[in-house]
Chain A
Amino acid sequence: MYSVLCLVSCFISLNGMSQGNNLEIPDINMKLRTEARAARQAASVAIHYLNYHHGSPHNVFQLHQLKKASLEIMVNEGRKYHLKFEVRNGRFSNVTKFCTAKVLFYKKSVPDTVLKCNFKDSDGFKEDYEFYLNLRKRMDPVVGYNIPDNFGFIAPETRPIWQLAIVSASYIMWQKSTEVMKYNMAQIQEVHQQIRTDEFLQFTYIVLLHEIPSQEIITCNMWVMWQPKQSPNVKYTCLPSPTESFSEESEFGRPEGME
């Protein structure tokens, strides 16, 4: 295959369609099984990115089905996953939306993500506004601990606070994700609201992230400013995990990986 690609790229360069005079090492493009861990990992990164950017506590998306995945290995530029997938809003929703994404992993950078989904941004912001207005009306700031509690319980009034944390923590999880390291938000340890006079709601959270496959629990302090129809403004610091960097072999068994 390599020699064929070489012939092709040489042919193209002969026709003056490529830039530069050096011999170009061709990129490799391969189709992935949708069950492949690497493909699903790339999809989870795209979904963190989606949830952060959509910025809607009442519209937190999960992967419904990965339809198509391919991997483009670009020498000196990274590994780019091309994905087609369906998402759904919450566990029991039957309504799915279709998305395409390109997720580029390169060394230790934040995964470069380009995402397109087939729903209009104005979908489902009504509940966000109700939540927002209820909080603006309150005189005393929201305070909470252990959400969900140790038994998985979330009081109905606290649920939107939890979902806003997921949307905000998606920013952290998107940034920290690599081809190997995956994240879920495990629990809110603490949340404190700071009352503001402008149109933003402000919260400081301590959230626990579950890191896979190292199985570590990462504690992050997260400062969030939000209003409806906007991605939250998130600043964070995470405490270092006790392990050294986990074995970061690529999924295909070759010991290449992050440098």
Chain B
Amino acid sequence: MKTSWILLNIVLVAAHRQVTYIGDQVLRISASSQKQLNLVKSLEQLQHLKLDFWKEPVRSSLPIDVRVPAKHVSTIKTILKSNNIAHSVMIENLQSLVDEERISTLISELRQNGTYSFNYRYYHLLKEIYKWMKNLADENPQLVRRMRIGRSSQGRAIHVLKFSTGHRRPAIWIDAGIHGREWIAPAVAIWMAKKITTDYGNDPSITTLLNKMDIFMVIMANPDGYVYSKTTDRMWRKTMSKRPGSRCFGVDPNRNFDANFGGNGSSRVPCSESYCGPHVHSEPEIKAIVNFIKKNGRFIVFLTLHNYSQRLMYPYGYTQETPENVEELDMLAHEATEALTSLYGTRYSYGSIVQLINESSGNSIDWSCKQGVKYSYAFELRDEGQYGFMLPRSQIVPTAEETWLAVKKIMEHACNRLP
């Protein structure tokens, strides 16, 4: 990683030539438009400023990291401020990093490139997430396996992380990222996957759970949609499948399941955000998930992560009828949301989809419930609409921490009721 190479370089140079970085700052710049991006690029051209880009200005959706020599810090900040270019100080005094004893451990950590140096407070690029998944499996060979269960419309791998200490056990399913624009969901799933690996062997509850059940996690169920929302249209929800005869593309994957497919609460219009698709399981991403779950046949819990609204919902969406264990589902939802709220006071409402939102046909938890998965829930994570899909990075870890408490409650309940 470039940062670690540079830091190593700085340490070596500092040791040999007494060069100092006193007062140098590393800024993270967020250009929100092509115009702003071009302005930052033009600053790079000004030689006398001696700006040292650790992350070059490439696209307006990517952060730009730059080391600014001390004497130019206030000039650069003034330029950024007066052009309304968002920026924050990542390192306030680079010399202090060089001075610290911990520099060598910092460098070795950064060089590791594994899940230990991964920034959990960031909305990553897809390829960074895929690499992280591979790292998690490589670092925990006795517990984690990364398996490809299919490919998206545009050919991207659909991976599932299998957490297992045994063979063919009752299983828990968790998926995130089915809707491109809901970035907080895969970010929370990543944090939770890491948490499972650190908790196994340390936390009695998770250790017991994993000694009796398997957990299958799809971090990114709709990679095409995620990439499109990162590069082109931040508000993109659907898949990227093409529609012959229409200029519109994409299907709402959460209307594509075989549960009252095409009914009220989904749209038959290809241009619509809730387009159900030409037929049941038309989307390869959904087909892959459905096939995997059916083939496994041992799922007891099915959880899907979305945002936003702060809701925990159980089936059904397509009908006012209730699952036969609705009282248990409701009581468990109550306990799970209480656990969630206990951490930061975030309030959730709970109930069936049709009660809380409105009718919805072809959605995943209705399908999983019909398949006999006893505990099927959909999470709508933070917030309530203030930032909505654009949830600030600072809320990623708090959201993950509180959601984890609810997820744990559901998993533990299922585990306690195993025959």
Contacts of A146 in B (CB 8 A): 32-33
B188 located at the interface, meaning its Cβ lies under 8 Å from any Cβ of chain A in the complex: no
Residue interface mask B371-393, A partner, CB < 8 A = 1: 00000000000011111111111
How would you classify the secondary structure of chain B's contact residues: helix, strand, loop or mixed?
A: loop
Contacts of A158 in B (CB 8 A): 84
Asked if residues A214 and B274 are in contact (CB atoms below 8 Å), the reply is yes
Asked if residues B84 and A155 are in contact (CB atoms below 8 Å), the reply is yes
Asked if residues B392 and A148 are in contact (CB atoms below 8 Å), the reply is yes
Choice from A152, A157, A253 contacting B390 with Cβ under 8 Å:
A152
Contacts of B320 in A (CB 8 A): 253
In whole Å, how far is A34's beta carbon from the nearest beta carbon of chain B? Answer: 10
Contacts of B4 in A (CB 8 A): none
Which of B32, B252, B356, B359 is most buried by chain A, counting CB atoms within 10 A of its CB? B32
Choice from A184, A213, A251 contacting B360 with Cβ under 8 Å:
A213
Give Cα A187–Cα B356 distance, bound, in whole angstroms. 24
A130 located at the interface, meaning its Cβ lies under 8 Å from any Cβ of chain B in the complex: no
27 CB-based A-B contacts, threshold 8 Å: A37-B356, A142-B84, A147-B32, A149-B390, A150-B32, A151-B30, A152-B393, A153-B86, A153-B392, A154-B86, A155-B86, A157-B81, A157-B84, A186-B235, A186-B390, A187-B234, A187-B235, A210-B385, A212-B357, A213-B265, A214-B267, A216-B273, A242-B272, A243-B271, A243-B272, A247-B265, A247-B359
CB-CB contacts below 8 Å: B32-61 with A: 32-33, 35-36, 61
Contacts of B349 in A (CB 8 A): 35
Q: A151-B30, A187-B234 are in contact. Are A62 and B273 (CB under 8 A)?
A: no
In whole Å, how far is A121's beta carbon from the nearest beta carbon of chain B? Answer: 23
Q: A208-B235, A253-B320 are in contact. Are A151 and B393 (CB under 8 A)?
A: yes
Asked if residues A145 and B32 are in contact (CB atoms below 8 Å), the reply is yes
Contacts of B271 in A (CB 8 A): 242-243
When C-beta atoms are compared, the residue in chain A nearest to B238 turns out to be: A215
A256 located at the interface, meaning its Cβ lies under 8 Å from any Cβ of chain B in the complex: no
Choice from A148, A212, A215 contacting B387 with Cβ under 8 Å:
A148
Residue interface mask B9-43, A partner, CB < 8 A = 1: 00000000000000000000010110110000000
Q: Number of B residues whose C-beta is below 8 Å from A? A: 45
Give Cα A144–Cα B82 distance, bound, in whole angstroms. 11
Give Cα A217–Cα B351 distance, bound, in whole angstroms. 26
Report the contact-size class of chain A (Cβ under 8 Å from the partner).
Answer: 35 or more
In whole Å, how far is A256's beta carbon from the nearest beta carbon of chain B? Answer: 14
Asked if residues B84 and A215 are in contact (CB atoms below 8 Å), the reply is no
Contacts of A220 in B (CB 8 A): none
Asked if residues B355 and A36 are in contact (CB atoms below 8 Å), the reply is yes
Contacts of B272 in A (CB 8 A): 214, 216, 242-243
Give Cα A217–Cα B180 distance, bound, in whole angstroms. 14
Give Cα A208–Cα B234 distance, bound, in whole angstroms. 11
In whole Å, how far is B13's beta carbon from the nearest beta carbon of chain A? Answer: 33
Choice from B61, B273, B391, B395 contacting A215 with Cβ under 8 Å:
B273
B237 located at the interface, meaning its Cβ lies under 8 Å from any Cβ of chain A in the complex: yes
Contacts of A143 in B (CB 8 A): 84
Give Cα A85–Cα B35 distance, bound, in whole angstroms. 45
Asked if residues B390 and A148 are in contact (CB atoms below 8 Å), the reply is yes
